[in-house]
Structure 1
């Protein structure tokens, strides 16, 4: 069972609250937030509807808790920026990109995280927080982070001078597309070997490209 944290007070949530979160993730990922009632959630949890409010003030707060725990998990995919200088000295660019990819796969295939990715896709139109997570924290932060990575590799002399921002965009936008394809294939129970192979080939190709790319 996944263990969740109440981000408001940094405590591990109790068993009933944990079960409500699990049930909500399953339900929201299939029906969307608006397609699931508190009555359905509490019936599945085996508690009275009124007992829901002992754990969450509203269904919206329950969804916010889900998103907050997702943020914590997603932050662990990439090494912290302050550690980049040491990592860049120790690892070739391709090895670094491959490790981040493996960290992502561990994240997305961990219990419940794949379903939360589906919730984010489902809720982007209706829910501002879902949009902000996707646009600002997944897309925006990834581009910012990869720009910092490429800047460090350029500074170290391991790749030629170029625009770190352009390298980040050229590398990361295909990754976003392939992640979406991977998750959609998983949703339909289809094989993902081909898209995973293409993701790995993208890493190897881009590392070679970056190592030989110079500004004109």
Structure 2
């Protein structure tokens, strides 16, 4: 059974609440948030519609619980910024970037996280919460983090002096594109070997271009 973080009371949620979350993630990832009703969710869960409110005050609170768990999982991909100075001194840039990539694969292929990525892509235009997560916590946070990474590697003398912000943009924007392609291929049940190979090649090419 999946265990989720309950952002409303900080306690481990019960089995019925977990089941509602699991059902909602699957349904939202296919039909969108507005395309799924509370009645749809409770029917699938095998409970009365009124029982939904024993677990969530609204469908919006259910959505926020899903996004809160996504943030927890997302935060495990990258090490704390406070560790970057030590990492830059001890670990070649190529090894570091590859480890972050492998951490991402573990994240996106973990139970339900892949479906939450689909929800974010599906809901970006019509759902402000999904849009803010994508723009701020995926794009914005990733660029900020990678800028900090490159700054530390420059300071440690591991790569030549350059603009950390530009390096972050040049590295990360292709990654965003490849993540989208990876998820779309998996949605259609297609092989992902080629896109995973290209991600590895992107890391190797970028590090070579940096002189490392």
Q: Same fold (TM over 0.5)?
A: yes
1:173-211: CA deviations, max 9, x gaps?
A: 000000000000000001100000000100011011112
**1:96 to 2:96 alignment:** yes
Partner residue in 2 for 1:199: 199
Q: Report the TM-score when normalising by structure 2.
A: 0.98
Q: Report the TM-score when normalising by structure 1.
A: 0.96
1:70-101: CA deviations, max 9, x gaps?
A: 01110110001001111111110000000000
**1:127 to 2:139 alignment:** no
Moved beyond 4 Å, runs of 4+: none
**1:26 to 2:20 alignment:** no
5+ long unaligned stretches in structure 1: none
| More deviation, 165-174/30-39 | 30-39
Query: Aligned-pair distance for 1:8?
Result: 2.8
Give matches, 1:138-149, under 5 Å: 138-149=138-149
CA RMSD of aligned residues (A): 0.8
* Partner Cα separation in structure 1 for residue 88 and residue 2 of structure 2: 33
5+ long unaligned stretches in structure 2: none
**1:159 to 2:163 alignment:** no
Partner residue in 2 for 1:12: 12
* Partner Cα separation in structure 1 for residue 70 and residue 64 of structure 2: 10
What secondary structure does 1:11 align onto?
Answer: coil
**1:108 to 2:102 alignment:** no
Partner residue in 2 for 1:177: 177
Query: Aligned-pair distance for 1:46?
Result: 1.0
* Partner Cα separation in structure 1 for residue 177 and residue 118 of structure 2: 14
CA contact (8 A) 1:2 1:112 kept: no
* Partner Cα separation in structure 1 for residue 135 and residue 12 of structure 2: 28
